[in-house]
Amino acid sequence: MSDRPPRTESELTDMVRSIDVRAPQELHDRVEALVADRARSQRRRRAAIRWGLLASAPALAAVVVAAVLVLSLSGRSGTSSLTLARTVALTLRPATMPAPAEDPRDGTALMASVDGVSFPYWARSFGFRATGMRVDRMGKRSVTTVFYADRKNRIGYAIVGGTPAPTVSGGVVVRREGTPYWLTSEDGAKVVTWLRAGRLCVVAGHGVSAATLLSLASWRGDETLAA
């Protein structure tokens, strides 16, 4: 057997597991930490591949951890009936109201808002025009959804009213200009969730890429969607 000391994580792990004498606790802790770090890295990579983020990594910020995306509400001002799955479901349902018009005072917004947070006008920059709208209630929360469509895809943009906003955790997290965006999937639809002016926003759609949804969600009115 070679006396060469272990140089890699695998060699260190094999050495510890092969000896009969109890190794120092510090060594065991180091091995466990290495194994845990590798597992986390593999989960991040799998999540990024699933979302197609590795190919567009230069255009995105850091990808954090992958898990189930959760909306948490305080019992005082929220209700357990508001869940991410139910919010996303609203973005995939039919419209019940006409589409709001473009705001003549602001070429980046529509004449529709929730608690002062306006829905974006995407037709000029992205080719997604507003096609309809609906307003629903889940417990004590109102959820307003505007639907958009281009020549191939339809998406829904929901804003949840009320404060404090539900707490979002899990998902694949991407930061743009300091704002975290939580990326996940629900019922086969890609979903991006984030906060705007203290209000929870959710944009989702079938057949739309993660990069497109993220570009739409993070739009500030001064850019267009790359072809």
CB burial class (10 A; 0-12, 13-18, 19+) of residue 25?
exposed
Residues 29-64: pLDDT tens digits?
665 666 666 666 566 566 555 555 544 444 444 444
Distance CA 192, CA 203 (A): 5
Domain residue limits, the chain = 9-51, 70-217
| pLDDT mean across residues, the chain | 78
CATH 3.30.200.100 for the 70-217 domain, yes or no:
yes
Whole-model pTM above 0.85?
no
178 three-state secondary structure:
coil
Q: What does each of the 227 residues of the chain score in pLDDT, given as a tens digit?
A: 556 665 666 665 665 455 444 556 665 566 566 666 666 656 656 655 555 554 444 444 444 434 445 555 433 334 446 888 899 999 999 999 999 999 999 999 999 999 999 999 999 999 999 999 999 998 889 999 999 999 999 999 999 999 888 888 778 899 998 999 999 998 889 999 999 999 999 999 999 998 999 999 999 875 544 43
Q: Tell which residue, 149, 98, 82, has the closest CA to residue 122.
A: 149
Alpha helices in 145-188 (DSSP H): none
Backbone CA torsion sign across 98, 141, 178, 57: negative
Predicted local distance difference test score (pLDDT) of residue 31: 58
